């Protein structure tokens, strides 16, 4: 298991792959991917499997009030704060088999490899599964990590509901992951997150490891349009207050903003809700979410201001009132330089080709970076495709990154 | 009850109003209107009430396989085909208390008035409630009248499903209106439909009765956009195939076509369905309905061609495939000149101010006009508002039109 480089370890990549393939059977999607929504029966089944694996690997399990799972491998000095590594096991509605999952199961593989070699570390090491990273069923995304890092009140998280009105806290009880652990977030040493890139750069450039130095700055907003019911036949264009038209103008023009900032900027309205949304009747109510992202925080802000400037335009065009009811922002983080340097020096020692990247997606690591030294490792994925059942990685894409994780965690845990 | 004009009768307007107010309590909406969707419990309750009223008025009830209710007052000569009058008792999700309902209950009032005066007619007279005119829960609109007139196969109608997958035929059984009457549509003499205008002209011009000579030509279409799931963060604008953007471009630009044909033309997309429709994931599927209407058939066709020409535009802009999956058209009808002349001459005899109009909305009468001499009477409504809980009429708006209906039906039934 020793690499032929001095003082470096190597994972059991067959075991990691087999573990991933077990996960790939839990909550199958329509075609080749997964549909394992947060706090669903499938999420419970995967959590149960993950806990069994961790217990078998000798870990102690702790579950906090929002369902985050911490599996600890003790260190030599119990008074030292632990090194954490992890990601999430939930998926999108039509998600892939690796997004998030790879980060958790890589953490498990790190612990298994240390066990294989009976290696003790000074600090405890923990692999973490954060609850509801995807934000599909319950909003916002990165919910469990956010609650852990103090960005959200626990009770607020527990009171959130899905589109069917099911309450987060009740669903967490139902699946048996409403824990009681109340840990101090200041008591962690550091956090590593390995994740597929969800972008095409590493694969295109033939580079094994992306060292993530920070995130795209992302701004989000939710708009509500208030129109008026009317019959689509006799109602003249001038008489109309069409909420769907207001929303459509926003969606189409937000997309144009994205094109104005190609290739680095992205602008999306991914969700629209319209009422009554029936043939023959003009909608009196519509909602849209806006999502703009750019690696340059100033340009991200510029894009967001342009998106907000569409509100009076759409309001006039559709003769509707438009209210900005919610705003959020994430990703404007720079990861800890010591952690970035540690990953880079491990990658160099292992002679793994690597480069610095920014992440365009949201990650649990963003929240962790607010409370502890944090960094991320990206590994390649086919065509940059994710949030799609066709998300795919080759085994060879993954091994170098997980080896970097293993050795970086080991060094940090002995520091 | 005799008007001071020779040979004319007058309805009991207090009784008509009281009857309308009973209907107004069945399936109340959120504020002042009604929500009485086709084949719902509320629809059943209203149908039961209507049948009781008709039976009390001495009518024989027949119900056909799609749930249309025919209440017959016998004539002197049973060998003669009947004069029909009616409309529908179902409403929009947030509909008014008069749309359609007034037409059915006016028919009942005609029968009650004839009963009051012991007037016999040569032909039988029937008041009809057509099933599912609104097309909210089950599509298409004007379903029952269309099935009666042979525009739809009965078995096809019975197999339609609502958004929850509930089957029309099963729901009709459930509410007890799956009848067995199988009447020959050729065996009716004529059809009268009284309806609120659903437009502002009569009220604005202070005219009591609109004599409807035909309909706006209406074209409808359903489009499906096929995009691809992708993450809204890492996916560059160039990589996207965003089904929601394709749909939004259609919605916004169809609205512009309407403005190009103001004030007579109207263009609407009233319904959009998007999947997965979640924050953070680009939609792979979207559907929209297009609805364009113009009194001039050539201009309606021109508008519709412009709407279809948006397909390649939106397809290119959103990088999605767009399929035209359904098309329909209605309203390009001219009502029977004898029937129009009869209504006009009755209105003149009654000294009721009247004018010719086209209807911009769909009506059961369009289907009936394919099988029998048909015409419509419009009465004013406040501000032209309908398909809205604020739909309103004054009692005084209604009386002249129902008196015209009464006397026109009487003359036709004695012809």
- Chain B neighbors of A252, CB-CB under 8 A: 245, 248-249, 252, 317
- Percent of chain B whose predicted confidence (pLDDT) is above 90: 90
Tell me the mean pLDDT in the region B298-318.
98
SS3 B387: coil
CB contact under 8 A, B234 and A197: yes
Q: Is A90 on the interface with B (CB under 8 A)?
A: no
* CATH number for domain A218-329, candidates 1.10.40.30, 3.10.110.10, 3.40.50.150, 3.30.70.360: 3.30.70.360
CB contact under 8 A, B281 and A93: yes
More confident residue, B332 or A207: A207
What is the reported pLDDT for B1? 41
Distance (Å) from the alpha carbon of A389 to chain B's nearest alpha carbon:
8
A residues 258-277 closer than 8 Å to B (CB): 258-259, 262-263, 265-274, 276-277
SS3 A267: strand
**pLDDT-based confidence at A278, cuts 50/70/90?**
confident
- Residue B195, pLDDT > 70, answer yes
Is residue A348 a contact partner of residue A407, using CB atoms and an 8 Å limit?
Answer: no
User: Are B222 and B368 contacting, i.e. CB atoms less than 8 angstroms apart?
Assistant: no
B32 contact A CB<8A: no
Per-residue pLDDT at A1:
41
Q: What was the pLDDT predicted at A5?
A: 63
Residue B2 has pLDDT above 70, yes or no: no
Sort B23 into a burial class: Cβ within 10 Å, 0-12 / 13-18 / 19+.
buried
Contact A271 B252 (CB under 8 A): no
pLDDT per position as a tens digit, B42-70? 999 999 999 999 999 999 999 999 999 99
What pLDDT, on the 0 to 100 scale, is given for residue B279?
84
Select from A130, A175, A166, A127 the least CA-distant residue to A148: A130
Mutate to test the interface with B, among A31, A240, A258, A270 (most CBs of B within 10 A): A270
The mean pLDDT of B389-409, rounded to a whole number, is 95
The SS3 of residue A247 is helix
The CATH number, out of the four listed (3.40.50.10860, 3.30.70.360, 3.60.140.10, 3.40.50.720), of the domain defined by the range B217-329: 3.30.70.360
Chain A residues near residue B249 by CB distance under 8 angstroms: 248, 252
User: What are the tens digits of pLDDT across the range A289-337?
Assistant: 999 999 999 999 999 999 999 999 999 999 999 999 999 899 889 999 9
Tell whether domain B13-216+332-413 is in CATH 3.40.50.300.
Answer: no
Task: Enumerate the residues of chain B whose CB falls inside 8 A of the CB of residue A255.
Answer: 237, 242, 245, 248, 317-318
Question: What local confidence, expressed as pLDDT, does residue A2 receive?
Answer: 44
pLDDT at A400 over 90: yes
Kindly report the backbone phi and psi dihedral angles of residue B234, in degrees, each rounded to the nearest multiple of 5, phi listed first.
-75, -15
Report the pLDDT averaged over residues B140-156.
96
Question: Which among B139, B247, B280 has CB closest to A270?
Answer: B280
Residue with tokens 């959590």: A47
Residue A55 in this model has a pLDDT that exceeds 80 = yes
Closest Cα to residue A210, out of A15, A384, A32? A384
- Smallest Cβ–Cβ distance between B236 and the set A266, A269, A361 belongs to A266
Q: How far apart are CA B231 and CA B63, in angstroms?
A: 54
Contact B251 A245 (CB under 8 A): yes
From chain A, pick out residues whose CB is under 8 angstroms from the CB of B267.
237
Q: Three-state SS across A294-306?
A: ECCHHHHHHHHHH
B359/A contact by beta carbon, under 8 A: yes
- Residues in A closer than 8 angstroms to B141, CB to CB, are 279-280
Closest CA to B150 of B375, B369, B373, B374: B369
Instruction: Provide the shortest C-alpha distance from residue A309 to chain B (in Å).
Output: 17
**Model confidence band, residue A7 (pLDDT cutoffs 50, 70, 90):** low
**Tens of pLDDT along B106-132?**
999 999 999 999 999 999 999 999 999
Does the beta-carbon distance from A94 to B279 stay under 8 Å? no
Smallest Cα–Cα separation from B373: which of B85, B59, B38, B30? B85
Contact state of B318 with A255 under an 8 Å Cβ cutoff: yes
Residue B370 banded pLDDT, cuts 50, 70, 90: very high
Span A371-395, average pLDDT: 93
Residue A280 predicted with pLDDT over 90: no
Contacts of A199 in chain B (CB under 8 A): 234-235
| pLDDT for the residue A279 | 84
Q: What is the pLDDT of residue A6?
A: 60
* Digit-coded pLDDT (tens) for A202-254: 999 999 999 999 999 999 999 999 999 889 999 999 999 999 999 999 999 99
Interface with chain A: mutation pick from B254, B281, B358, highest number of A CBs within 10 Å: B281
The ranges of chain B annotated as CATH 3.40.630.10 are 13-216+332-413
Decide if B252 touches A, using CB distance below 8 A.
yes
Task: Look over chain A and give the mean of its residue pLDDT values, rounded to a whole number.
Answer: 95
The predicted pLDDT at position B5 comes to: 63
- H or E element that contains B125: strand B125-129
Closest CA to B246 of B265, B270, B228: B228
**Interface contact B234, partner A, CB < 8 A:** yes
Q: Does residue B245 come out as left (phi exceeding 0), alpha (psi in the -120 to 50 range) or beta?
A: alpha
User: Nearest residue on chain A to B217, judged by CA atoms?
Assistant: A233
Q: Is B324 on the interface with A (CB under 8 A)?
A: no
Give A309's DSSP letter. T
Is pLDDT at A34 greater than 80 in this prediction? yes
Q: Could you tell me where in chain A the CATH 3.30.70.360 domains are found?
A: 218-329
Sequence-ordered strand ranges (E) for B153-271 = 190-196, 209-215, 217-226, 230-231, 266-268
Neighbouring residues of A90: CB distance < 8 A, sequence distance ≥ 6:
A36, A37, A38, A43, A100, A131, A132, A133, A134, A136
Measured between CB atoms, does B141 come within 8 Å of chain A? yes
What SS3 class is residue A112?
Answer: helix
pLDDT digits (tens, 9 = 90+) for B215-254: 999 999 999 999 998 899 999 999 999 999 999 999 999 9
A132 touches B at CB < 8 Å: no
Compute the nearest-CA separation of A103 from chain B (Å): 18
The answer to whether the CB of B248 falls within 8 A of the CB of A248 is yes
Residue in chain B nearest A255 by alpha carbon: B245
């Amino acid at each position: 298991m020793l690499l032929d480089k001095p003082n470096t370890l190597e994972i059991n990549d067959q075991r990691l792959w087999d573990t991933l393939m077990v996960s790939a059977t839990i909550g199958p999607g329509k075609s080749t991917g997964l549909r394992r929504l947060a706090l669903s029966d499938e999420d419970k089944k995967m959590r149960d499997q993950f806990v069994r694996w961790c217990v078998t690997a000798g870990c102690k399990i702790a579950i906090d009030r929002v369902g985050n799972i911490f599996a600890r491998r003790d260190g030599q000095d119990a008074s030292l704060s632990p090194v954490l590594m992890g990601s999430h096991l939930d998926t999108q509605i039509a998600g892939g088999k690796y997004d998030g999952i790879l980060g958790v199961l890589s953490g498990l593989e790190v612990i298994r490899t240390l066990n294989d070699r009976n290696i003790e570390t000074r600090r405890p090491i923990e692999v973490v599964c954060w609850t509801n990273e995807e934000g599909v069923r319950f909003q916002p995304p990165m919910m469990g990590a956010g609650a852990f890092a103090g960005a959200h009140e626990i009770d607020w998280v527990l009171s959130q509901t899905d589109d069917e009105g099911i309450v987060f806290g009740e669903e967490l009880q139902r699946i048996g992951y409403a824990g009681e652990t109340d840990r101090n977030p200041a008591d962690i040493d550091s956090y590593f997150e390995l994740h597929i890139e969800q972008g095409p750069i590493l694969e295109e450039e033939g580079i094994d490891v992306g060292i993530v130095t920070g995130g795209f700055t992302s701004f989000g907003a939710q708009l509500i349009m208030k129109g008026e019911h009317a019959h689509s036949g006799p109602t003249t264009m001038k008489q109309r207050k069409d909420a769907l038209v207001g929303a459509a103008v926003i969606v189409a023009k937000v997309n144009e903003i994205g094109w104005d900032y190609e290739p680095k900027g992205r602008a999306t309205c991914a969700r629209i809700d319209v009422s009554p949304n029936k043939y023959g009747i003009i909608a009196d109510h519509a909602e849209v979410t806006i999502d703009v992202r750019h690696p340059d925080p100033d340009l991200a802000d510029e894009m967001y201001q342009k998106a907000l400037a569409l509100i009076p335009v759409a309001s006039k065009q559709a003769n509707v009132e438009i209210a900005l009811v919610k705003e959020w922002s994430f990703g404007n983080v720079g990861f800890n330089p010591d952690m970035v340097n540690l990953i880079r020096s491990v990658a160099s020692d292992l002679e793994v080709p690597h480069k610095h990247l920014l992440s365009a997606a949201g990650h649990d690591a963003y929240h962790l970076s607010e409370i502890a030294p944090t960094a991320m490792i990206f590994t390649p994925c086919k065509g940059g495709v994710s949030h799609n059942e066709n998300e795919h990685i080759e085994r060879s894409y993954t091994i170098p990154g997980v080896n970097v994780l293993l050795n970086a965690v080991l060094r940090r845990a002995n520091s």
